[in-house]
Structure 1
Amino acid sequence: MIVGSERIVVIGGGIAGLAASALLARDGHRVTLLEGREGFGGRAGSWSRDGFRFDTGPSWYLMPEVFDHFFRLFGTSAAEHLDLERLDPGYRVYADGYDAPLDIRGSRRENVELFESVEPGAGAALERYLDSAASTYDIARRRFLYTNFDGVRGLLAPEVLRGAGRLTSLLTTSLDRFAARTVRDRRLRQVLGYPAVFLGSSPTATPAMYHLMSHMDLEQGVFYPRGGFTAVIEAIASIAADAGVDLVPNARVTAIELTEGADPTVTGVTFHDAAGASHRVPAHRVVSAADLHHTETELLPAHARTYPESWWRRRTSGPGAVLAMLGVRGEVPGLAHHTLFFTEDWRENFGRIFGSNPSIPDPASFYVCRPSATDASVAPPGDSNLFVLVPVPADVGIGRGGEDGAGDRLVEATADRAIAVIAAATGANDLVERIAVRRTVGPADFAADLNSWRGGALGPAHTLRQSAFLRGSNRSRRVQGLLYAGGSSVPGIGLPMCLISAENVVKRVRGDRSSGPLAEPEAAGPGAVGPAPASGVRSREGA
């Protein structure tokens, strides 16, 4: 149903910008999306060389019901656009001090059995933990994620009031402490605490509220879209184009134009094209899905900033990252599709990243994705595609990456140490010699290519002071008609959160103050929530 016809410019062609533009066009608005780079996707980009293709960012497909809800808003489904596989194992864990890895399985029952096999009594403890995680996730999805916190109705819902004491306890207890109350084995505690990294934080600084993340990986399961996350971006970009969005690549926005005076209103956006020529697009509203710090401090004059530099100095950035994209001849059989490497002293590891005197952890906990374990299209036959992510401080001084070892010293040395750990853990002693393609990325690349605040890989960390309504608003307090979407805004980090942020922008434009997802075409009411998809999902056994 057409609900409006404004001229709206969306800045940034990542998943949040693409989704917001599609939803706004669906409502009848005339939407232009400006993306500064040649391709769309933002952090969810793609890079190829010599037959190897790499996702350059997100690689965990979690919260499948959020994706399917978005597609159903357009009368379709994720199953119609994506070929999803449930991974089994969901991921593998190598932990310092233990000889054998742990395989986190594809179902709750199997993971309960796994926990029990490691620590007597841990199975029953995990059952209770996952019951709590599922309940917390359900409330969060219906009351706290799809909302702009501009009304109290959702906060005063009976289920929220009844659980106020429990919710307060979860907010004031750290995830690390909450996990330690559940199990004793260090590896199991790390499995329960590691989701903090997906939230751009450390287990000691993340509220236990976010134990809801364990409902996703230990119960719902981990999925993979064949073709990689490029397939997700292509599907949403196609929906945006079909909805009538004017998708403009190579359009580097230089300013958000405003009316003069004490109460400025957006009037348009200026940008430079690939040839350097300047252009202007008029607008009744602007939605910036670019980095929030960049939007506020580079695209607006000082008097129009809701979040000036003084505000950012009081915020905590998520981690930076050193990425290594490795095309390896032959197999690396000790790696699953997703593999985590955990150091023994986690407090030291995260203290080096988030502490008062940050530095690159050594040894470091890190993550490896081997999509070639599932998808033959990402590497030549018989070869392996490895994507390595080492969390480091958000510090552009760490430097930039490059191809074939040409990156800055700290970036390349960090990648080299991770490769050595992989080789030792998996028995692939000749791994270095078999690397045919190598590209690294450092924090300075995130700053230069994505305008990322401090070179962070994710966005502001999900600490207590930076979660829910304390994270900020998706509406400028100084500029009429300026809205925000994406991982550096609300509700937060991750592709599902970015999809939700797009929907919340649409609710702002509509004046919708409800606390649940938008009604789907077949749904009866504004708070209708569809089930997680079952069709179109295959389970993959083994790695």
Structure 2
Amino acid sequence: MGRGVRPVTPRERSVVVIGGGIAGLATAALLARDGYRVTLLEQHDDIGGRVGAWESGGFRFDTGPSWYLMPEVFDHFFRLFGTSTAEQLDLVTLDPGYRVFFEGGTEPLDVSADGSENRAMFERVQPGAGAGLDRYLASARETYRLAVDRFLYSTFASFRPLLVPELLGRLGRLGRLLLQPLDRFAAHYVKDARLRQILGYPAVFLGTSPSRAPSMYHLMSHLDLEDGVRYPLGGFRVIIDRIAALAEREGVRIETGARVTAIRSADADSDTDEPGRRPHVTGVDYVADGVAHRLEAGVVVSAADLHHTETELLREGRSSYRERWWKRRDPGPGAVLVLLGVRGALPELAHHSLFFTTDWADNFDRIYGANPSIPDPASLYVCRPSATDESVAPPGCENLFVLIPVPADPTIGAGGIDGAGDALVEQTADAAIGQIAAWAGIPDLADRIVVRRTIGPGDFATDLNAWRGGALGPAHTLRQSAFFRGRNASAVVDGLLYAGGSTIPGVGLPMCLISAELAVKRLRGDESTGPLTEPLTATLDGERVA
């Protein structure tokens, strides 16, 4: 974007944000607060993106993220706007945080909101594992703090801020954490297979497997085993509504039903631009109500899927990441989602329940291996928000959200209502319902279903332009983590930035909020590794550091 202080033209002050998911809304809100005139364009008639909602028969379902982790990231984000999480959300701490069912009928294990109870549970399962968990979590705490302070809020525009004694003195340890897979790291601390699964499962949140995730990500265990799991009453859609309200308060114009068809850019003007300057963004083309529109802007932030942005929205020769680059990347898992309204109570299930198969290696190999197929039985996840929130289901009924990880392959098909989805999607849903019934001891579960909807990889590809129908975004393998993940600014076109789960720092709601902050830091030329100062104070007021 050039360097130095200079007057800001009206076009440069204008920003278009593509995509109305959490990353797009957060980016738009922050940039508007920083002094830009921001228009957000969302292709669907409603905002939310992956954080969707669906209602039927008195049931209200979240159709995307359902774990509230890393609360300090949400706290910081809201404080940037002079408000707080307490003012915006009504959070409940879940206890148990989650329940784990194991193949073979072994007694399920509850992960408590109390870290000392989790230590006691580990010790009951395997004598000596309590002390092992203490050591594991001490390492997780240290690594988490290091990640927040030095990596997650860094744009990696420069490596100079990383050349500090705090990091240089830990290079050996960081190297081991990056090169050793998570499952082998966890095996040094506990031997029982069930406990190792509990420590390895956070890799799934990162779109990969315990054998492919760097052990750096053992930091995630600090979040669920010590920091606790929370839930926003009203569902995760409430988070979207609150951020959208902040964006509109800051002056963002949100236009739904507006599908961006192209990001426009122009070659540098040799008479007026700096020598050697790259092409620069001039705006976007989009379609709304069947009518083509053109919107000028000096900055475009695409919070849409990065593959879609780079291969579909940019003209030939303007992509930073071309198809040959994508062929070497890992899209993470796909998913079949099953939304179930169930008659009667389901006390057998916690708010969050995990179902782990015994042969994890085979399970994950079917998803990520050379010859992918849908696991059967599958290690799957069930959310029962009605355990905590009476507003999500009619009286006397339960709300279930089931996620079955599958290969990232849109040919698996799309879902539907009441069994009307593609055959393989519905077969996968039926198998999961049967598995939950058998493992959790709910033999009449299928007979009690009164509302059913499925969502498949084909829906992710069609509705979200998700690369290869992936459910989360590129996996957090070594080659796709931190500065290896890819820049959040185009290497070819000035003024084009990226936000969301397919860029840095990664997948998940907290990471998407941080990615929005990284867009602000890019435009400010801020190469620091920490969060922005609270509250955010506008820097764009007639002049700016460009």
Normalised to the residue count of structure 2, the TM-score between the two structures is 0.94
Q: Of the candidates 344, 348, 351, which is equivalent to residue 334 of structure 1?
A: 348
**Distance apart, 1:98 and its partner CA:** 4.1
Residue 498 of structure 2 contacts residue 519 of structure 2 at CA under 8 Å; is this kept in 1?
yes
In structure 1, what is the equivalent of residue 79 of structure 2? 72
Give the SS at the match of 1:515.
Answer: coil
Q: Of the candidates 396, 406, 421, which is equivalent to residue 407 of structure 1?
A: 421
In structure 1, what is the equivalent of residue 367 of structure 2? 353
Give the SS at the match of 1:182.
Answer: coil
**Distance apart, 1:349 and its partner CA:** 0.2
Equivalent-residue separation in structure 2 for 1:413 and 1:341 (angstroms): 18
In structure 1, what is the equivalent of residue 271 of structure 2? none
Which deviates the most, 151-160 or 109-118? 151-160
Amino acid at match of 1:322: V
Equivalent-residue separation in structure 1 for 2:316 and 2:120 (angstroms): 57
The question of 1:170 aligning with 2:193 is answered: no
Equivalent-residue separation in structure 2 for 1:319 and 1:507 (angstroms): 30
The question of 1:152 aligning with 2:159 is answered: yes
The Cα RMSD (Å) is 1.3
The question of 1:53 aligning with 2:47 is answered: no
**Distance apart, 1:407 and its partner CA:** 0.5
In structure 1, what is the equivalent of residue 13 of structure 2? 6
| Residues 389-428 of structure 1, C-alpha deviations (whole Å, 9 max, x = no match) | 0000000110000000001111001111110011112222
| Residues 92-124 of structure 1, C-alpha deviations (whole Å, 9 max, x = no match) | 000113421000000211111111111111001
Equivalent-residue separation in structure 2 for 1:25 and 1:234 (angstroms): 17
In structure 2, what is the equivalent of residue 137 of structure 1? 144
Residue 80 of structure 2 contacts residue 536 of structure 2 at CA under 8 Å; is this kept in 1?
no
Residue 101 of structure 2 contacts residue 440 of structure 2 at CA under 8 Å; is this kept in 1?
no
Equivalent-residue separation in structure 2 for 1:460 and 1:88 (angstroms): 31
**Distance apart, 1:445 and its partner CA:** 0.2
Equivalent-residue separation in structure 2 for 1:188 and 1:176 (angstroms): 11
Give the SS at the match of 2:501.
Answer: coil
The question of 1:451 aligning with 2:465 is answered: yes
Amino acid at match of 2:147: A
In structure 1, what is the equivalent of residue 507 of structure 2? 493
Equivalent-residue separation in structure 2 for 1:238 and 1:487 (angstroms): 22
Q: Write out aligned runs for 1:474-489 (5 A).
A: 474-489=488-503
In structure 2, what is the equivalent of residue 461 of structure 1? 475
The question of 1:316 aligning with 2:293 is answered: no
Equivalent-residue separation in structure 1 for 2:349 and 2:316 (angstroms): 50
| Residues 48-69 of structure 1, C-alpha deviations (whole Å, 9 max, x = no match) | 0010010000000000000010
The question of 1:217 aligning with 2:224 is answered: yes
Normalised to the residue count of structure 1, the TM-score between the two structures is 0.94
| Residues 264-298 of structure 1, C-alpha deviations (whole Å, 9 max, x = no match) | 2111111111x211111110010000000000000
| Residues 197-241 of structure 1, C-alpha deviations (whole Å, 9 max, x = no match) | 000001000000000000000000000000010011101000000
Q: Write out aligned runs for 1:513-532 (5 A).
A: 513-521=527-535
Equivalent-residue separation in structure 1 for 2:495 and 2:64 (angstroms): 31
Q: Of the candidates 41, 44, 48, which is equivalent to residue 51 of structure 2?
A: 44
Equivalent-residue separation in structure 1 for 2:385 and 2:111 (angstroms): 17
In structure 1, what is the equivalent of residue 542 of structure 2? none
Residue 33 of structure 2 contacts residue 536 of structure 2 at CA under 8 Å; is this kept in 1?
no
**Aligned length, in residue pairs:** 520
**Distance apart, 1:153 and its partner CA:** 3.3
Equivalent-residue separation in structure 2 for 1:102 and 1:423 (angstroms): 17
**Distance apart, 1:154 and its partner CA:** 3.0
Residue 200 of structure 2 contacts residue 210 of structure 2 at CA under 8 Å; is this kept in 1?
yes
| Residues 298-332 of structure 1, C-alpha deviations (whole Å, 9 max, x = no match) | 00012000011111001011100000000001111
Residue 83 of structure 1 contacts residue 225 of structure 1 at CA under 8 Å; is this kept in 2?
yes
| Residues 155-182 of structure 1, C-alpha deviations (whole Å, 9 max, x = no match) | 2121111111111111110001011111
| Residues 44-91 of structure 1, C-alpha deviations (whole Å, 9 max, x = no match) | 010000100100000000000000100000111011010000000000
In structure 2, what is the equivalent of residue 541 of structure 1? none
Amino acid at match of 2:333: P
**Distance apart, 1:354 and its partner CA:** 0.2
Residue 333 of structure 1 contacts residue 426 of structure 1 at CA under 8 Å; is this kept in 2?
no
Amino acid at match of 1:442: G
Give the SS at the match of 1:88.
Answer: coil
Equivalent-residue separation in structure 1 for 2:157 and 2:535 (angstroms): 25
Q: Write out aligned runs for 1:175-254 (5 A).
A: 175-254=182-261
Give the SS at the match of 2:174.
Answer: helix
Residue 302 of structure 1 contacts residue 308 of structure 1 at CA under 8 Å; is this kept in 2?
no
The question of 1:382 aligning with 2:389 is answered: no
Equivalent-residue separation in structure 2 for 1:21 and 1:148 (angstroms): 18
Residue 89 of structure 2 contacts residue 238 of structure 2 at CA under 8 Å; is this kept in 1?
yes
Give the SS at the match of 2:458.
Answer: helix
Provide the identity percentage.
66
Q: Of the candidates 116, 130, 133, which is equivalent to residue 109 of structure 1?
A: 116
Residue 91 of structure 1 contacts residue 103 of structure 1 at CA under 8 Å; is this kept in 2?
yes
In structure 2, what is the equivalent of residue 534 of structure 1? none
Amino acid at match of 1:499: L
In structure 1, what is the equivalent of residue 278 of structure 2? 263
Amino acid at match of 2:279: P
Amino acid at match of 1:461: A
Residue 332 of structure 1 contacts residue 426 of structure 1 at CA under 8 Å; is this kept in 2?
no
Equivalent-residue separation in structure 2 for 1:460 and 1:513 (angstroms): 24
The question of 1:299 aligning with 2:306 is answered: no
Amino acid at match of 2:502: S
Amino acid at match of 2:519: V
Amino acid at match of 1:284: G
Equivalent-residue separation in structure 2 for 1:250 and 1:43 (angstroms): 16
| C-alpha distance 30-199 of structure 1, shift in aligned 2 (>3 A) | same
Equivalent-residue separation in structure 2 for 1:378 and 1:520 (angstroms): 34
Equivalent-residue separation in structure 2 for 1:302 and 1:220 (angstroms): 47
Amino acid at match of 2:282: T
Give the SS at the match of 2:338.
Answer: strand
Give the SS at the match of 1:454.
Answer: helix
Amino acid at match of 1:26: R
Give the SS at the match of 2:282.
Answer: strand
Amino acid at match of 1:288: S
Equivalent-residue separation in structure 1 for 2:158 and 2:282 (angstroms): 28
Amino acid at match of 2:192: D
Q: Which sections of structure 2, spanning at least 5 residues, go unmatched? A: 1-6, 269-276, 538-546
Equivalent-residue separation in structure 2 for 1:480 and 1:387 (angstroms): 42
**Distance apart, 1:475 and its partner CA:** 0.5
Amino acid at match of 2:339: M
Q: Of the candidates 352, 374, 385, which is equivalent to residue 371 of structure 1?
A: 385
Amino acid at match of 2:107: A
Equivalent-residue separation in structure 1 for 2:495 and 2:531 (angstroms): 22
